Amino acid sequence: MADGKAIGRSVPRQDAVDKVTGAAQFVDDIQFGPTLLHAKILRSPHPHARIVAIDTAAAMAVPGVRAIVTGKDCPQYLGLYLADRTVYAVDRVRFVGEPVAGVAADSAAAATEAIGKIVVAYEPLPGIFDPVAGAGNKDVLLHENLGTYRCAPFIYPVPGTNIANRFRLRKGDTDKGFAAAAAVVENTYTVPHIQHSQLEPHAAAANFDRAGKLTLWSSSQSPNAVRKLIATAFGLPMTKLRVITPYVGGGFGGKAGLTCEALVVPLALRLPGHHVKLTLTREEVFRGTFVRQGLVARLKTGAGGDGRLAAMEAELFWDGGAYAEYGVNIARSGGYCSSGPYEIPNIKTDSCCVYTNHPVGGPMRGFGMPEIHWGIEQQMDMLAEKLGLDPLAFRRLNALRDGSPAAFGGPMSGATLVDTIDAVAARCGWGGPKPPASGARKARGRGLACMFKAPSMPPDAQSSAVLKLNEDGTVHILTTAMEIGQGSLTALAQIAAEELGVPVADVVVTLPDTDYTPYEWQTVASRISYSAGNAVLAAARDAKAQLLAVAAQVLAVPATELAIEDGRIFPRTDPARALAVSAIAMGCLLPGGAIGGPVVGRGAFVPAGITGLDRETGQGERPAPFWTYGTQVADVEVDLRTGAITVLKVTAAYEVGKVINPALAIGQVQGGIVQGLGAALYERLALAEGKYLNSDFVDYKIPTATDTPQMDIVLLETSPQADGPFGVKGIAEPTMVPTAPAIANAVYDAIGVRIRDLPLSAEKVLAALKSKQAGEKFVRRAP
C-alpha cells in the first residue's frame, strides 16, 4: 500500500531493520573481533539448467570483497548416506536456490553488492517436478553418474534412472490375501513438502588459522557428521578440523547432517586468519536447506470377514528433491514400516526415493512416519467402516503385540500399541455420545489414529561420554549430544545424578566441541536419552566404582556394602559414618600414602543385535533397537459455511518405557501435537515448476498460540526398554506422527468427507463438502 502499511500486518521501518542488523554486527564483533568477514551466497534462479559460464570480475572489484568461490574450486562430492552433491554447483544447477558462488567481504553490504555483480550464463534444461513421473523417466536424468556415487551398504540406487534408493518389502502372498479378503480399500494419498520452521535460522562460521587448523562454529544437530563430511571432502585430517556447536534454536531434523556449514569452508581456506560467517535469511532457509520430502502413496489394504487384516500393497514415491544424500534413508524406513503398527501376513511394498527439481528433501520430525501414517490410518478407518466395525476395536484387534511377526519378518518386542489404545479410550470416553456442536452451521467429529516409530539409524550408531568429578564433588559430563530444545542435557544430567548418587544440581553437561567432547553419531532419531543416556550411565557407573573403591579403603568397609546418596558415601548398615564425595573426588591421602586419584568415568554404547534387511525382500530380524507406540484422538468442529476446521481437543497416549523427566516428556508431546496440527491444516511449500510461491512466513502459515487445542496426555511405563537407561525409549518424534490422520478421520466423522491430500485447508474441505452435497441432491432427485 502507498502508506507503507499492510492490512493486519505491520511493515518494519528501515531504521528498525538497521537496528537489528547493527545489534547482530555488535554480537559478531564481540565473538570474532576485527578478523570477521561476512559471507553471502549467489543461488540459482532456475530449477534445472546448465552453467555455461560464470564471470566474477566485477564482483571482485567491489571494495571490501576478499574472496569469491564457485563450484570449480570445490568439486568434491558430499553426502551422509549417498554422496551425490557438491558444495557449490559445478556444471549445472538442479533446484531453485542451489548455491552457485560464495563471497566473503568486510561487510554484509559489500558481500551483497558483489553477489549482485556475479554474471552467470545458464542454459535451461527440462525439469522433473513429479516423483511418480520421475521414477519412470529415463530421458531426463538428474544424476547420470548415479551408479558411481558412494553410498551406505543398505542404500540401493538404480543407475540409469532417477531413483536414488529403492527399498523392497515382500512377505507372504498378497494375491491370495486379497482374494480371501471380505473388504478391500485402495486409494492414493499425497503429502506436500513442508519446512521445519525453526525459530533460529541456519548459521555457520569458519576460521582457518596460521597453523593449518580449521575451526567451524555450526548450528548443527550433527557435529561429528559435519566434521567427517568436511574432512573427507576437503582432505583434512580430523586433528585439523574442530567443530563447535552452541545451543541450537530448534532443529526438528532440518539441521541434521550438513546444511550451510560447507559453504563457508572454501572461503575460510582462502583467507587464513579470518573468521568467515554466514547467516541465512528466512527465505534462504526455505530455499536452500532441507525440507520434509513430499510423498505420493498408493495403498491397497484388505481385511477378512473376521476383521483381521489380510494383505497390503504399497507404492511409495518420495520426492527426494535435487539431492537425496539424506533422504534415501527415509525411503528405507518408510518401506520397512509400511504396515503401520499392525500385523499383516501378506505385504508387498516398493518405496522409492526419486530425484526431482524440487528443494532438497531431508529428515524432519518423524522421519517418514507422519507421511506414511497419513494414508495408513485413513485406510484403517475405511476398512472398519466397510466391515461395520468400530475403528478403535478394529485397530485393537490388529495391533502388533509382543512376539507378533513384523512386516520385516522378525518378532516384535515391547509392542505396546494396545496399552495406548486402551488408555486413550478410557481417557476420552470413546464410544460415548459426542458433545453438540457450538452452532447450527457447525458439525462436530471425533477420529483416532495410531502409530509406531523406531530410531532410523545405522546398525553401529555410536555414543560415548566422559564424566569427571571436580574438587568440590560437582560433576562435568562431556558429550557431543546436542541441545536443540528437547531437554537432552537435563535428561543426561538426571541419568548421571541418579546413578552416581549426587544432586542433579551439581551436574553440568557441556556443549559439543569435537576437540574435547567424545563421539556422538548425531542428535536425531529420538535416540539421545536412549543411546547417549546409556553412554552417560556407563560413565557414571565407571566413576562410581572408582569412588567406592577409594571409600572402601577409607571406611574399611567392602565396596559392595557402601551406598552413595545426596553426595555422601556411607555403609548401608551405618549411614552416620559418611564421607562427602568431594573428600575423595581427587583421591585421598592416608597415613600409608595416597590412594585413588582424580575420578574420570568413561562410557560408550552401541546397540546390540541390530541386523540388516535383505535387499530383495526387506526381511530381517531387528532393524532398529526399539519401537515407540502411541495413539491420538482428535475432537474437531467444522464450519459448514467456510470449511474451516477447529481442533478442539487432542487426547494422546504414548508408551515410553520410563519417563526420565515428566515435564520435558509432556512438553515434547505438546510440541509434537501442535507441529502435527500445522502439517494437517496449514503447511505446504507451494511450488510451481520448481519455483517457490511462499518462501517466508507471510505466505507460509504455521500454527500460532490461538490454534493450540486442549490436550490430555497420558505417558505409560508398561514396557521398560531392556537395554535403555532405567528402561527409557524415545518420545520426541513419535508425538507428531498420528495427529494429521486423527484430524482427517475426525473430519470424516463430522461431515462425511474424506480428503487424501494434505493440508486439510478450508478451501479443500468446503469444495469437498459442496461436491458431496451436490451428489446427495442428485441421488435424491433420481427416479
Do 733 and 632 have their domain in common? yes
- Answer yes or no: do 530 and 623 share one domain: no
pLDDT of residue 218: 95
Q: Which residue has the higher pLDDT, 609 or 17?
A: 609
**H or E element at residue 468:** strand 463-469
Residue 52 CB neighbour total at 10 angstroms: 11
Angle between helices 369-387 and 391-398 (to 10 degrees): 110
Last residue of a domain, one of 246, 279, 312: 279
Can you tell me the distance from the alpha carbon of 404 to that of 170, in angstroms, rounded to the nearest whole number? 17
SS3 625: coil
Q: Which residues pair with 77 in a beta bridge?
A: 86
The cell for 577 is: 559414618
β pairing state of 687-688 and 49-55: unpaired
- Is residue 2 pLDDT above 80, yes or no? no
Domain match, 329 and 435 both: yes
Distance CA 360, CA 371 (A): 17
Alpha-carbon separation of residue 551 from 559, 582, 591 (angstroms): 7, 11, 15
Instruction: Using alpha carbons, list the distances in angstroms from residue 377 to 82, 163, 301, 451.
Output: 31, 27, 11, 8
Domain stops at, among 279, 309, 325: 279
7 pLDDT higher than 50: no
pLDDT in tens, 105-114: 999 999 999 9
**Cβ 323 vs Cβ 92: under 8 Å:** no
Contact between 49 and 107 (Cβ < 8 Å): no
- Residues 40 and 108 both lie in one domain: yes
CB 467 within 8 A of CB 574: no
Specify the pLDDT at position 584.
Answer: 97
In a domain, 60, yes or no: yes
Q: How confident is the model at residue 773 (pLDDT cuts 50, 70, 90)?
A: confident
Regarding whether 216 and 102 lie in a shared domain, the answer is yes
| Residues with Cβ within 8 Å of residue 227, at least 6 apart in sequence | 216, 238, 241, 242, 243, 514
Answer whether residue 724 is part of any domain.
Answer: yes
Task: Tell me the pLDDT band of 305, cut-offs 50, 70 and 90.
Answer: very high
Q: How far is Cα 75 from Cα 460, in angstroms, rounded to an integer?
A: 30
Q: Do 275 and 303 belong to one domain?
A: no
Judge whether 479 lies within some domain. Answer: yes
**Can you tell me the mean pLDDT for 607-623?**
96
- Looking from the CA of 362 toward its CB, the CA atoms found within 13 Å total 27
Contacts of 148 (CB under 8 A, 6+ apart): none
Task: Please give the residue range of the domain that contains residue 567.
Answer: 16-23+460-605
Residue 235 has pLDDT above 70, yes or no: yes
- Report pLDDT for 774: 87
Q: Taking all residues of the chain, what is their mean pLDDT, rounded to a whole number? A: 94
| Domain contains 730 | yes
Q: What is the pLDDT of residue 434?
A: 87
Instruction: Give the domain CATH number at 121.
Output: 3.90.1170.50
pLDDT on residue 524 = 96
How is residue 435 annotated by DSSP? P
Is residue 624 classed as helix, strand or coil in its secondary structure? coil
- End position of a domain, from candidates 550, 585, 605: 605
Cα–Cα distance measured from residue 352 to residue 360, given in angstroms and rounded to the nearest whole number: 15
The 10 Å Cβ neighbour count of residue 715 is 19
Confidence (pLDDT) at 30? 65
In this predicted model, what pLDDT tens digit does every residue of 84-122 receive, in sequence order?
999 999 999 999 999 999 999 999 999 999 999 999 999
Residue at grid coordinates 568429578: 469
732 in the same domain as 615: yes
Residue 145 counted as domain residue: no
Average pLDDT over residues 48-68: 98
Q: Closest Cα partner for 350 from 363, 334, 365?
A: 334
The domain spanning residue 580 has which CATH number? 3.30.365.10
The dihedral formed by the CA atoms of 189, 194, 196 and 202, expressed in degrees to the nearest 10: 140
Those residues whose C-beta lies under 8 Å from the C-beta of residue 57, and which sit 6 or more positions away, are: none
- Over residues 240-262, mean pLDDT: 95
Query: 778: which residues sit within 8 A by CB, 6+ positions away?
Result: none
pLDDT tens for 419-437 read 999 999 999 999 999 899 9
Taking CA 224 as the corner, what is the angle to CA 218 and CA 230, rounded to the nearest 5 degrees? 70
Q: What is the DSSP letter of 520?
A: B
Total number of domains constituting the chain: 3
Q: pLDDT band at 749, cuts 50/70/90? A: very high
What is the distance between the alpha carbons of residues 623 and 605, in angstroms, rounded to a whole number? Answer: 17
More confident residue, 720 or 25: 720
Distance CA 562, CA 568 (A): 10
Domain check: are 419 and 539 in the same one?
A: no
Domain for residue 338, yes or no? Answer: yes
Tell me which of 27 and 167 has the higher pLDDT: 167
Distance (Å, whole) CA 781 – CA 783 = 6
Express as a percent the part of the chain with pLDDT over 90. 94
Same domain, 428 and 576: no
Q: What percentage of the chain has pLDDT greater than the value 70?
A: 95
The answer to whether the pTM exceeds 0.85 is yes
Buried b (16+ CB within 10 A) or exposed e, 220-233: bbbbbbbbbbbbbb
* Bridging pattern class, strands 203-208 and 645-655: unpaired
Residue 351: the pLDDT is 98
On the question of pLDDT at 44 being above 60, the answer is yes
Angstrom distance (rounded) from CA 629 to CA 453: 7
pLDDT given at position 775: 80
Q: How far is CA 647 from CA 338, 360, 492, 613, 678, in A?
A: 27, 31, 35, 40, 11
Q: What is the pLDDT of residues 511-556, one digit of tens each?
A: 999 999 999 999 999 999 999 999 999 999 999 999 999 999 999 9
The reply to whether 443 and 511 lie within a common domain is no
Query: In the structure, how many helices (H) and strands (E) does the chain have?
Result: 18, 34
DSSP 224: H
CA dihedral 270, 275, 281, 286 (to 10 degrees): 60
Do 598 and 615 belong together in one domain? no
Average of per-residue pLDDT across 629-647: 98
Mean pLDDT of 620-640: 97
Do 243 and 107 have their domain in common?
Answer: yes
Question: Could you tell me if 389 and 396 are in contact, meaning their C-beta atoms sit under 8 angstroms apart?
Answer: no
C-alpha cell at 337: 514400516
Non-local CB neighbours of 222 within 8 Å, separated by 6+ positions: 255, 256, 257, 258, 482, 522, 523, 524
Residue 565 has a pLDDT of 97
Phi, psi of 35 (to 5 degrees): -85, 0
What is the per-residue pLDDT across 318-330, written as a single tens digit (0 to 9) for each?
A: 999 999 999 999 9
Confidence of residue 29 (pLDDT cuts 50, 70, 90): low
Distance (Å, whole) CA 542 – CA 477: 13
- What is the average pLDDT across 229-237? 96
Mean pLDDT on 705-710 = 96
284 versus 24: the higher-pLDDT residue is 284
Q: Is residue 327 part of a domain?
A: yes
CA nearest neighbour of 631 among 475, 508, 737: 737
- What SS3 string covers 377-421? HHHHHHHHHHHCCCHHHHHHHHECCCCCECCCECECCCCCHHHHH
- Write the burial class of residue 235 (CB in 10 Å: 0-12 exposed, 13-18 middle, 19+ buried): exposed
pLDDT over 50 at 780, yes or no: no
464 has which bridge partners?
604
Average pLDDT over residues 5-13: 31
Residue of 751, 745, 637 lying closest to 381 (CA atoms): 745
Q: Does 520 map to a domain? A: yes
